Structure formats: C-alpha cells, structure tokens
A and B are shown apart, each in its own frame.
Chain A
Amino acid sequence: MADLSVKIAGVEFKNPIIAASGTIGFGHEYSEFYPLSELGGISCKGITLKERHGNPPPRIAETPSGMLNAVGLQNPGVEHFIEDDLPWLSEQNTVVIANIAGSTKEDYCEMAERLSDTEIDMIELNISCPNVKEGGVQFGTSCESVASITSAVRKYCKKPLIVKLSPNVADIASIAKAAESEGADALSLINTLTGMRIDINTRKPIIRNITGGLSGPAVFPVAVRMVWQVKNAVSIPVIGMGGITTWKDAAEMLIAGADALQVGTALFTDPYSPLKIKQGLNDYLDSHNFKSVTELTNTVVTS
C-alpha cells in the first residue's frame, strides 16, 4: 500500500484525485454514489459574485473521444454557496476548493476576500472559462493580464491560491511564470480547449452558444504536454487535468509533472472512475516499488 497523500501549498490531500470544477457541482449528487471522503478533494462549480443563469440550451455536444460544453457558469452566487452548500461540504472530510470567476478584477477580489473568511481550504482562480462573454478567459490569455489579476487577488486572498490556466494560449510556460511571480501558490491546468460542432443536416452549430469547451480523452495529450512544459518552468505545485480517464492516464500525468490531479469528464462516463483510478494508481506504485505517489511526480525520462 503506497502512500497516496500529497501536500499542495500546505494543504494535505489524502490522495491526489480531485474532482474537477463544473463536473461535480457542489458534491451533493455524486455523494449519492460514494462518500466524497474517498476523493482527495473537490473543486466546486465555478461561482460568481451574483447568481448567473448560464447559457441557453443545448449546452452539450459529444465529440470523438470527448465532449463540448457551454454551460456558461450557471451558479447561485457566492453568498448562496457560502450559506447553503459550504456548511455541508466542509463536513465531508475532503479538501474543498472554491473555483471563482468574474467579469471584472473587482469581482474576483471581492469573492476572494469573502471566501477567505470561510471554511474553504483553497481558492482556484478560474481565468480560463471559454463560455462566458465577459471575463473568464480574457484574463487568462496574456502574461500581463494573468500577472495583473493574480497580484490583485493575492492582496485579498488569505487562502492558498491556485491559478487555473487556459490551454487556448501560444506559450503556456510564460503564462505560468507570470502567475507564479505574482504570488500564485499553485497552478492547475488545463481548462477546456475552445471547439465547435455543426449538425450537417440543419447546418446549425449543435451548441446554442456556437462554441464550447472541449474536454475528455481527446485533450489528454495536449494536457500532458502543457503540464510538462509548466512543471519545467515553475517551482510551485502543479495540478494536472484534462482527459484523465484511467489509472494509466493518472500515472502518465504525474510522470509529466503533476503533483495532484483533477478528474472531470470521466465522471460522466463512469461515476466511479475516481475510485478506480485511485486503486489502479496504488497498484501501479506498489508494483513499481514507489513508496509514495510524490516519488512519481516529474520523473519523465527525456534522454
């Protein structure tokens, strides 16, 4: 039995498997499959300062080996989250990460300040959502904007701060460095890649928002590459995600440089996938004589 625990920015996770933001809501539904304490942590649905209704349907399209979504950050707002969801979540014996998104810098700062007074374990700055008109990814695609939002939020954020990076950029390593230099405690990546599908009979885009975010196995090699590039560019912990579906994917992402993992779309295919990944990873570590999962991180052999 290998030691699966990891420590990210001072926060202890009993295993490296975290449910990815937007795929598990605030945890209630999947807790009807298994206790959330089986997970290392849960990253909550992206929340905004005020309630958002989200985009009109259809919001989902299937793709070869993946899916597009354009939910558009439907959420009840930060106060509602703190009052109605957080009390229950903080008793589930798992690390709780608040994923926050805003249309202005002030929104992000106000939420970070408000959440700093709560039971939340960490804050994940979502500057990479491709499905909203204002804010979201516009903060995440240049080094200047990433630096400026990170430094602004840092002043208000008393919790460990994760900056979640967008893959829709030319040079992910420079973006990662910009976030690190302005005070990010950890980085998570990748968010979804912008994509599109069209119904050839009606010639209408399948998603009403026209474009959506691609996730699932289709993005996995892109995510592995980006995690590897980022790990080589920064010294803060990196949480890797994007298409992780099996324990083999999990092992590969750790080897590429991830200190912890998030699993999203795989939950839809198999709600039990995080538990299967955890078990498979443990067996892999045992059979390869690793005593701890941390020994596997960043061990890619390039020569």
Chain B
Amino acid sequence: MKYDARPCPVVKKFQLTDTIYDFRILNKDFAAAAKPGQFVHILVPGKTLRRPISICDVNGAELRLVFEVRGEGTDILSQIEVGGELDIIAPLGHGFTIYPEKRTVFIGGGIGVPPMLYAAKHCKNSVTITGFRDKSAVILEDDFKKISEHILMTDNGSAGSKGFVTEALKEVIGNAEYVCACGSTAMLRGVAEMAKQVGVPCEISLEERMACGVGACLGCAVLVNREDGTQGYKHVCKNGPVFKAEEVVF
C-alpha cells in the first residue's frame, strides 16, 4: 500500500511570525518516505476537506510543517498544541528533481519558502533566495544560512536587500545549472521566464484547491502543454505539485 492516513503526535510547536506556525510531528514511516517538494494532506477537525501543506524539513522521524493562517482551516490547525495530533496523509505528490552536484538556485516567495528548505538541503552547491513583504514576514533565515549561500530580499528593504527575488536571481543565474521555485504565480512566471532566457532548466511548485489529494477526484487541475503540442489538464496533487516550468501554461 502506497498511501496511508495516520494521526501523528505534535512534538514541538513554534510561532515564527504573527501568522506563521512551525509544527514538528512524529511519524517515522512518513519521514523516511518524504521527498523534497512533496506535501501532506491534513485533516481539520470539523471540516470536510483536508488542507495541503508542504514538507518543510525532515529530521529523523520528525516532519516539519510551516504554515500561515489564511482562513478557518489553518486557524483551527494553528490552535492544536504539543501533545495533540495532526491526522495526515503523507507523503503525497511528485516533488523536485534533485541534482546533488549541480549548482542549483532555490527560490521561495512568502509562504512558498518552506518547501525550499528540505530541497536545498539535498544539494551540495546551492544558492537560496527568499523573498518577503517586509521584515515582519521573514521566516527560516537561519535555517537557510546554515545549509546554503543565502540571499534574503524584502519588498521594502526592511530586512536583507530591497527588491523582488527575481532581482537577486538576475545576479546569480549566470553560474546556475538548475533552478527550483515556489511562490506566487507572478513570481513563478518571472522566474520561469528568466530561466528560459538563459537556457537553464527550471522546476516550479504550484498550488490548487484540493479534495482527495491523491489524484482520484480530478479537482486540482492545472493547464499544461502536452508533449503532442496540445494543451490539457494535469493534477497538482498527483502529477505535481512540482512541474517543469515549460510545461505550465501561465
């Protein structure tokens, strides 16, 4: 059996900003199977649909999930305390292709930053670029500094350098062999265009509203260019969340 849903104990919990939480949950099978860019599908007590959250990091039997409170579901989850449980289906989806030896640039924008941590950890020679609105929204800075050459950007310059992640990417893409990104559609489009211009392969992680999370309901559709030249839908939960940039129709 490839899939399983299990209650996993919350063993640590931190609040990173006003709205962003960092949960460490325990399940050795899920942790052992998790690959960079994959996600977990979390049951929200009292809600019909689970919430997809990226795997931010794995340490031994611990999965790390970093999420922002956006609406009712993430608000309910944020109130679960250490000693409580998160019922998750994991690990799900198709993650980033990792080339440990290649000079890779990992780019995250806002709440698209968490999955880049576990991905960048797998690469010996990586540059990480993270971008946030302002200083109050910055997360995971120390984690990225430990494992990579790190560039922090904020829109207003209140932390790191001022500007968008694409401005930082411009400086380093000349030496890059591969680019991975997760963030807003506008950011992903900018990153994908830049990578295409210089001919560097690029993978991006997408979001879409989900029901099943495993590819059965066809809910989480995203329009892609097919190999035969036509366009059609693929599914974020099963074919993604990570896609080759040139495949995605923005």
Contact = CB atoms under 8 A, between A and B. Distances in A.
Interface stretch (A118-126, A136-144, A262-270): A262-270
B1 A32 contact: yes
B186 to A, nearest CB: 16
A216 B214 contact: no
Contacts of B213: 268
B48 A33 contact: no
B212 A268 contact: yes
B47 interface: yes
B233 interface: yes
Interface residues of A, number: 37
Interface string A64-86: 01110101001000000000000
B49 A62 contact: yes
Contact of B233 (A67, A74, A270, A272): A74
Contacts of B219: 59-60, 69, 71
Of the four ranges (under 10, 10 to 19, 20 to 34, 35 or more), the interface on chain B belongs to 20 to 34
What is the interface of chain B mostly: helix, strand, loop, or mixed? loop
Nearest to A218: B48
B48 A66 contact: yes
Given A34-B1, A265-B48, A271-B5, A56 B217 contact: no
Interface string B58-90: 000000000000000100000000000000010
Given A54-B218, A216-B48, A33 B211 contact: no
Contacts of A53: 232-233
Interface in A151-204: none
Interface stretch (B103-111, B147-155, B220-228): B220-228
A268 B49 contact: yes
Given A271-B3, A272-B5, A23 B216 contact: yes
A58 B222 CA distance: 9
Given A61-B209, A271-B89, A29 B215 contact: yes
B43 A29 contact: no
B245 interface: no
B218 A71 contact: yes
Contacts of B4: 33
Name which of A23, A25, A268 has the most chain B CB atoms within 10 A of its CB.
Answer: A268
A30 interface: yes
A60 B216 contact: no
A267 B217 CA distance: 10
B33 to A, nearest CB: 13
B210 interface: yes
Contact of A269 (B49, B214, B220): B49
Contact of A60 (B211, B222, B223, B238): B211
Given A59-B221, A67-B48, A270 B5 contact: yes
Given A34-B1, A54-B221, A268 B233 contact: no
B214 A32 contact: yes
Interface in B191-250: 208-223, 232-233, 238
Given A53-B233, A67-B49, A69-B219, A32 B3 contact: yes
Contacts of A270: 5, 43
Contacts of A255: none
A22 interface: yes
Contacts of A65: 48
B2 interface: yes
A69 B5 CA distance: 23
B8 to A, nearest CB: 15
B215 to A, nearest CB: 5
Given A28-B216, A58-B209, 4 more contacts: A56-B223, A66-B48, A67-B49, A269-B43
Interface of A: 22-25, 28-30, 32-34, 45, 53-63, 65-67, 69, 71, 74, 216-217, 265, 267-272
7 contacts: A23-B216, A29-B212, A33-B4, A60-B210, A60-B219, A268-B49, A269-B49
